Amino acid sequence: MAATVRLINPETRARAKHWIGVAEDGVSVIFTKPTRTNQQNSKLWAMLNDVSKQKELGGQKRDREYWKAVFMKACEHEVTFAIGLDGDPFPMGFRSSRLSVSQMADLITFIIQWGDEQGVVWSDEAKA
């Protein structure tokens, strides 16, 4: 059996302590920081939409997924680019959903700074 407990109040902490107390030997317990919020995710995609509509990279328009990989790579998150059948590179192996709240905040801050320097006009959704 697998279980996940998000430590958000005294009751969930008590539940986690109980499960640790009754767990059989060999069970693994992993503690992770909270991942990005839904609000951060919405802001990121709005910003990527603005960038993809207004900017080019390598003389070409790029989609939001491509820009996400470019920005994640710039923030030193692991990203891999593969070569497609048409010879063009495409991003793979990145998941912003795995970023912590602070990592996502850093990514958003980086994109804002880059976009401001490049003259991106941010939509209301991106400003939220």
Domains and CATH numbers, the chain: 1-31 (no CATH), 33-127 (1.10.3790.10)
pTM, two decimal places: 0.70
Three-state helix/strand/coil letters over the chain: CCCCCCCCCHHHHHHHHHHHHHCCCCCCCCCCCCECCHHHHHHHHHHHHHHHHHCEECCEECCHHHHHHHHHHHCCCCCEEEECCCCCEEEECCCHHHCEHHHHHHHHHHHHHHHHHCCCCCCHHHHC
Q: Tens-of-pLDDT digits for all 128 residues of the chain?
A: 677 888 889 999 999 999 999 999 999 998 888 888 999 999 999 999 999 999 999 999 999 988 998 998 899 887 777 888 988 877 676 678 888 899 999 999 999 999 999 999 999 999 88
